[in-house]
Structure 1
Amino acid sequence: MFVGHYAAALAAKAVAPRAPLWTYVIAAQAIDIGWAGLVMAGVEKVRIDPSLPGSALDLYHMPFTHSLPAVVLWSLAALGLARAFRLPWGAAIAIALTVFSHWLLDLLVHRPDLELWFGGAKVGLGLWNYPVPEQAVEIGLLGLGAAAWAWTRSKGGQSLWPVLVFATILVAVQVIEMVMPSSGGTESLGPSALAVYLVMGAIAWALDRRRA
């Protein structure tokens, strides 16, 4: 799951527009930002298995970012951080729910690698095993999120160009990832993933700044 996660960010922006777009974009991938850092530190583990259908990632050890209790803690931390920066309660809750949405969306696509508790049973519905439906679900979710944000902006008499720009960039990155799979080893996964997530946050920040 990649662009599908940003659907939650766009939907949250539609529901609680007082928070900047970049906060929702970072929140949508906060779990994977943490994962990238912990993979680089050697704390969480991943390997590449080319025999797997669809995604070749074997995410066999990631309890501190992708277990259910860890995601609850990440979400509460995001809520506290948002309130510390004096965002309204509605926006802060929307940010926390966006963080939590990451686990729910991963549940759809991941093979059973999401722990229900630390060291406990692992779950995952395995849509990754069916690449075409998985990609369709991601693009569909992004379309729904973008439509919700566009509807909110149009109601307020605002231009739709930020929606179109951000959605187009996300679809382009998704297509590039599909047709040009990474040729690097596991050592490149953390840095490359982190770079993409931060660039998406920077683009969202730039869109907000341009609008202001």
Structure 2
Amino acid sequence: MFVGHYAAALAAKSAEPRGPLWTYVLGCQLIDVAWGGLIAAGVERVTVDPSLPGSALVLEHMPYTHSLPASIAWSVGAALLARLVLRLPWRVAVVIALTVFSHWLADLLVHRPDLELWFGGEKVGLGLWNYPVPEQAVEIGLLGLAAAAWTWRRAKLGQGLWPALIFVGLLLALQLYAMLQPANPDPVGLGTTAIAVYLLFTALAWIVDRPGSKPRPA
């Protein structure tokens, strides 16, 4: 899943607009940012099987990012950083944590069984990746619903719609590009590319959100 994760970020921004958009955008992919780093470092493992339907990724070993305990830990850590470092209100910090954890829930829907319920334990995944057309429809549908809620919220706050539409359009364009390109079989290249893309969209989210007002203190 790619753009489907960003649906959680846009929904979070709509529900709690005091949080900077970039924190939600980074939060929804924080687990994959860490995964990219650990893949590039050889700590977690992935291979590519082009014969697979949908995603060609075979996610062999990723307990430190995509196991259920690790996902909870990343979520709690993000909340603490948001509150203690960024000085955001506790409600915003909790919404950021939920956005981070949404990544695991979304992956549960699409991944083949590769998500550990505990370290070294049973692996789960509902495998929607095996049905590429419905999987893409779910991803784009979720993004569309969240984008509609976000643009509605921006309109209520008197903020422009074009930055939001451009941001969502770029997400969809990258999704289509990724669908047409074969997966990079080099783990280092795959990991570093993933990090670069996620940080790029974090920067774009910061740009889109700049005209907004600053969060009010708790």
| TM-score (structure 2 length as normaliser) | 0.94
Written as runs of structure 1 = structure 2, the 5 A alignment for 1:185-200 is 185-200=186-201
Structure 2 partner of 1:14: 14
Written as runs of structure 1 = structure 2, the 5 A alignment for 1:89-100 is 89-100=90-101
Please tell me the residue identity of whatever aligns with 1:50: P
Structure 1 partner of 2:23: 23
Please tell me the residue identity of whatever aligns with 1:77: G
Deviations 1:129-183 (A, max 9, x none): 1111111111001001101111111222322122201110100000111122335
Structure 1 unmatched runs, 5+: none
Residues 49 and 58 in structure 1, CA contact (< 8 A), matched pair in contact too: yes
For the residue of structure 1 that corresponds to 2:59, the secondary structure is strand
Moved more, 48-57 or 183-192: 183-192
Residues 48 and 186 in structure 1, CA contact (< 8 A), matched pair in contact too: no
Structure 2 partner of 1:165: 166
Written as runs of structure 1 = structure 2, the 5 A alignment for 1:106-117 is 106-117=107-118
CA distance in structure 1 between the partners assigned to 2:170 and 2:178 by the alignment: 12
Written as runs of structure 1 = structure 2, the 5 A alignment for 1:32-71 is 32-71=32-71
Moved more, 201-210 or 169-178: 201-210
For the residue of structure 2 that corresponds to 1:60, the secondary structure is strand
Judged with a 3 Å threshold, the aligned counterparts in structure 2 of structure 1 residues 126 and 199 are, in CA distance, closer, same or farther, namely same
| TM-score (structure 1 length as normaliser) | 0.96
CA distance in structure 2 between the partners assigned to 1:87 and 1:54 by the alignment: 39
Count of aligned residue pairs for this structure pair: 212
Residues 164 and 208 in structure 2, CA contact (< 8 A), matched pair in contact too: no
Post-superposition offset of 1:185: 2.6
Please tell me the residue identity of whatever aligns with 2:32: D
CA distance in structure 2 between the partners assigned to 1:201 and 1:39 by the alignment: 20
Post-superposition offset of 1:184: 4.5
Residues 184 and 190 in structure 2, CA contact (< 8 A), matched pair in contact too: no
Deviations 1:30-87 (A, max 9, x none): 0000000001111000011122111110001000000000000000000100101210
CA distance in structure 2 between the partners assigned to 1:53 and 1:179 by the alignment: 13
Post-superposition offset of 1:211: 5.0
RMSD: 1.2
Indicate the percent of aligned positions where both proteins have the same amino acid: 67
